[in-house]
Amino acid sequence: MSTNSLPVADYAQEFSGRTALVTGAASGIGLAVARRLAAGGAAVAVADFNEEGARDAVAELRAAGADALAVRVDVTDPDSVEAAVAATVKALGGLHLAVNNAGIAGGGSVPIGEYPIDGWRQVLATNLDGVFYSMHYELQQMVAAGGGAIVNMSSILGTNGFAGSAAYVAAKHGVIGLTKTAAIEYAARGVRVNAVGPGFIDTPLLSQTDVSIREALVALHPAGRLGTAEEVAEVTAFLLSDRASFVHGSYHLVDGAYAAR
């Protein structure tokens, strides 16, 4: 089996009757997750700041036979997040699954003493505040629905440092802390919360980088390659599924042994 040959067909209806909300789902990992959940029978709300990209993704999912909804969301704005969750519940009938994936890398690569304050605020607002706002409203709906599952997209930098990326590293560490806390608070209320930590993933954005930079990133992974969005989506789908029914508050690396060095 090749690295991109994933056993989606084996679980063709595991999410049937459930509604999923995926933020940052217009491209990259988020889009791969939306495709995977839709392939498993879920109705999927594709939530993204890029409204046109979200509509394109929904058109693709619907063409494949899925029930899907495009929702514009700015995860830095709690009112926007609340509206996106409400729109999902109204249009698709409840909320049972959520993947909080929206995030930005932040500009530049500079040490903390030179890191721009506005850059720090922007990254934390998107990558950490956005996850908190999303869970805040998602959890309310899931408890009302009788339970659910959430996956927060952290990173290998959720437990590792990386020079020049103070805001991103701090935010992704924070996502793991939020995940663990939410898992404790909601386990007895029927909601499981876990996190995924991707390594460097071969997305369209990364493919545009200089060849030497790409080779340097590959070298960081003992597996000898970058990961694929589909590989991250498969782990995410497992965590959302009933197959992971006793998995709470965990952090799962999809990193080609990056963090094992």
- Spatial strand order in the sheet of 251-254: 68-72, 43-48, 19-23, 97-100, 148-153, 191-198, 251-254
242 DSSP 8-state letter: G
168 is catalytic: yes
Q: Which amino acid is at 181?
A: T
Give the long-range contacts of residues 64-72, CB within 8 A, separation 24 or more: 64/38, 64/39, 66/38, 66/39, 66/42, 67/43, 67/92, 68/34, 68/38, 68/43, 68/44, 69/43, 69/44, 69/45, 70/45, 70/46, 71/21, 71/45, 71/46, 71/47, 72/47, 72/48
- Between CA 164 and CA 182 the distance in angstroms is 29
- Three-state DSSP state, 36: helix
Angular region, 93: left φ>0, alpha ψ -120 to 50, beta rest: left
The residue from 133, 168, 186, 258 that is catalytic is 168
Q: Is 120 exposed, middle or buried (0-12, 13-18, 19+ CB in 10 A)?
A: middle
Hey, which residues are catalytic here?
A: 168
